[in-house]
Amino acid sequence: MLGAMHSHGGPLSRLRRGHEERVLGLLRRHGPQSRAELGRRAGLSRTTLYDIVGTLVASGAVVVAAADPGPRRRGRPVEHLTLNPAAGQAVGIDFARRAVHVAAANVAHEVIGSASRPHPPGLSWERRVELAEQLVASLGGGTRRLSSLGATGAVGVGVVGPVRTAGDAHEEPLAALAALLSKRFGAPVLLDNNTRLAALAESTWGAAAASQDVLYLRLSHGVGGGLVVNGSLHRGAGGLAGELGHITADPGGGPCECGGKGCLETIASIGPVLASFRALGGRADDVPALLRAVGDGDRAALEVLRTAGIRTGTVLAGVVNAVGPGVIVVGGELARAGEALFAAVHEALDAHVMPLARRRVTLLPAGLGEAGGALGGVALALHESPLLARYPDPGGDDLPEDAL
């Protein structure tokens, strides 16, 4: 257990939790630091910082690194603090539509490994969980718990579709999945939308690792997104944030499965893009065939990707003007088209983002590929679980000790 339980979730408890998150985040991003360096970066008083650091060291989450080898005139060598790789591990699982992806890392954010396995559509949850167990065991030398996972680690899990707040009737299947996974792995389980988790992963290990404010968009069989604000996921009211695919991109467009009309998903997801290509005389049953046509300079393929890129960039521009991210990351199978897609997205951003913000946002391709959702599950567990184990949910009651 990381430290003692706090019995009341008042403002001071939440403030202390925020201070700990800030210190842990600085150690993740900048590596070993002295207390003085941490104090300057965290903006905390010396007394508060020493109190927070003392708690983190006592819990085992932070350790004292080797002393500064540089010359000193007098006094003790400067101690440097770092995250403790031995404090525990976390597993991430992404239950995608047609595959299971897993990843693992230690508390110091050193990735242990990742693995994937495809499966046929409609596979039962029981079988998908079995696949996840097998893949995690392949990372852990034959044990699904890796080393010390059950003691201080957690499992972050991504699923397709909205992940609503507790109490919604639609949460019952997800609650059952979380209970099953917790039993199988012997650790706390945190659930979220897998595209949102990919956003968190890109801001932790991927293309946007240097940025704290990231807008992520995935162009795949569906279109989804995620927003990372100050290093943390933004979930929105009821946990429904990130549905970028259901922003209207063409008011005169066709119907969407969400009940809307002309949503970005009806234009820039795999099915509609391939259908548009075939309508122009192209031949492609899947994305690799479309990409081969792009590589051959096929005008129809370039045209449909340009249209998808312009619509995508226009939607992203509206989000940029509203929330002001520093980096936009675009991933998914269609992002593999490269410049054929990204040039049009850039063009639309330049046309619609406010001039003052235009130079403050960078567009990048995703860097983590299929492992993104699973790595996001790892990041979710590492960023939230150690603190949630000691602090009550700001909106709920204290966690019982048997939930740890």
Instruction: Give per-residue pLDDT as tens, 214-236.
Output: 999 999 999 999 999 988 889 88
First vs last C-alpha separation in the chain? 7
3-state SS class at 360: coil
129: tokens are 């969980």
Instruction: List the one residue out of 384, 393, 386 whose CA is nearest residue 14.
Output: 393
In angstroms, the CA 233 to CA 266 distance is 26
In angstroms, the CA 325 to CA 358 distance is 11
Instruction: List the one residue out of 265, 312, 282 whose CA is nearest residue 290.
Output: 282
In angstroms, the CA 308 to CA 111 distance is 34
In angstroms, the CA 324 to CA 226 distance is 14
Instruction: List the one residue out of 242, 256, 237, 225 whose CA is nearest residue 164.
Output: 237
| CB-based contact 41:212 (threshold 8 Å) | no
The torsion defined by the Cα of 153, 227, 197 and 342, in degrees rounded to 10, comes to: -140
Q: Computed from CA positions of residues 375, 244, 224, 207, in that sequence, does the dihedral angle turn out positive or negative? A: negative
Percent of the chain with pLDDT strictly greater than 90: 50
Greater model confidence, 10 or 61: 61
pLDDT in tens, 106-136: 877 788 889 999 999 889 999 999 999 999 9
pLDDT tops 80 at residue 362: yes
| CB-based contact 304:277 (threshold 8 Å) | yes
In angstroms, the CA 14 to CA 22 distance is 12
pLDDT in tens, 259-301: 999 999 999 999 999 999 999 999 999 999 999 999 999 999 9
**pLDDT, mean of residues 171-188:** 83
Instruction: List the one residue out of 178, 35, 28, 202 whose CA is nearest residue 106.
Output: 28
| CB-based contact 244:217 (threshold 8 Å) | yes
Percent of the chain with pLDDT strictly greater than 70: 84
Instruction: List the one residue out of 321, 370, 346, 301 whose CA is nearest residue 96.
Output: 370
Instruction: List the one residue out of 333, 325, 272, 367 whose CA is nearest residue 317.
Output: 325
In angstroms, the CA 404 to CA 401 distance is 6
